[in-house]
Amino acid sequence: MSRCEISRQSLTRRCGVGLAVALLLVAGQGLFADELPGNDAKNRSESSSSGSVGVSEAKAEALTEGWWKRWDADVKDSDDPNELIRAKLNAVITVLETDELDQAKKKIAIDEIASPVFDFQLMSMLALGRTHWGRLTSEEQATFTELFTKRLRGSYQDIVSHYSDQKVKLGQAEPERNGINITMDIVSEESTISVRYKMRKLDNHWRIYDLEIDDVSALLTYRSQFDDILRRGTAQDLFNHLKKDAAP
């Protein structure tokens, strides 16, 4: 597969960006590979599980036995968002590059490593927008959040399948009104893609709540799609759309 073209149309379905996962977009591209400490991921510290959405048998085994924690990031200063992003990226790369795990286990490990960095609740609210979110019942809000989170986390599979050799230049955190921004440039022979993580503190932990790729917001792209569905139909139509999108 050639380098993914980042555009408003492809943003939500290509390169694993549906997550959000700017983190995983870049993590899936071989970033910081020259900084990896070889096999020392075996000694990395444990961190709490992020929970699960649509738990499979393999996922249940991973959560029960906790084998994925061997690969988790060693974040030396969790109050430093740059350190958090760098450590998580390196952990994901280690998983992608190891021959010890098959693709199914790599997907599970990456999910457990990366998901705690994202504020899925806020991302769900922002993707729907204040007006549409406010019109949903609390039960519908919970259903949308579950389905949208499942879609975002489902993008990890593509990352495992399309691991490449691009590199990244990581900028320093810059303050903004609601938190901070961290900019990364993903560099390949063909081009440079700019990724901006938008982060805020939640319960004293830095969390990603949006990302911009070449100045295009992932959540605003989703919001446009969801707004079109809800203007023409109902919340159930949106749920059916998300369920269909998540189907294998």
Residue 153 phi/psi, 5-degree rounding, is: -70, -25
Q: What is the C-alpha to C-alpha distance for residues 26 and 120, in angstroms, rounded to an integer?
A: 19
Specify the number of domains making up the chain: 1
Q: What is the C-alpha to C-alpha distance for residues 158 and 115, in angstroms, rounded to an integer?
A: 16
Give residue-wise pLDDT tens across range 5-30: 333 334 333 333 333 344 444 433 33
Length of the chain: 248
Output the CA torsion sign for 154, 102, 84, 172.
Answer: negative
Q: Do residues 209 and 191 make contact, with C-beta atoms less than 8 angstroms apart?
A: no
Q: What one-character-per-residue DSSP string does 140-205 give?
A: HHHHHHHHHHHHHHHTHHHHHHT----EEEE---EEETTEEEEEEEEE-SS-EEEEEEEEEEETTE
Question: CATH number for the domain including 162?
Answer: 3.10.450.710
Q: Do residues 88 and 23 make contact, with C-beta atoms less than 8 angstroms apart?
A: yes
Work out the pLDDT band at 179, boundaries 50, 70, 90: very high
For residue 221, the enclosing domain spans 17-246
- Residue whose tokens read 């699960």: 52
Does some domain include residue 163?
Answer: yes
Establish how many alpha carbons lie within 13 A of residue 130's alpha carbon, considering only the half-sphere containing its beta carbon: 0
pLDDT value at residue 226: 96
Does some domain include residue 241?
Answer: yes
pTM, full prediction: 0.73
Rg (CA), the chain: 17
Q: Which residues pair with 205 in a beta bridge?
A: 202
Strands 192-202 and 216-217: unpaired
Does some domain include residue 207?
Answer: yes
Query: Is a pLDDT exceeding 60 seen at residue 3?
Result: no
Does some domain include residue 232?
Answer: yes
Does some domain include residue 141?
Answer: yes
Does some domain include residue 10?
Answer: no
Give residue-wise pLDDT tens across range 195-248: 899 999 988 889 999 988 888 898 999 999 999 999 999 999 999 999 986 655
Candidates 150, 188, 190; CA nearest to 169 is: 188
Does some domain include residue 5?
Answer: no
Residue 17 phi/psi, 5-degree rounding, is: -70, -20
Token representation of residue 33: 């590979």
Token representation of residue 115: 């998901």
pLDDT value at residue 156: 58
Does some domain include residue 7?
Answer: no
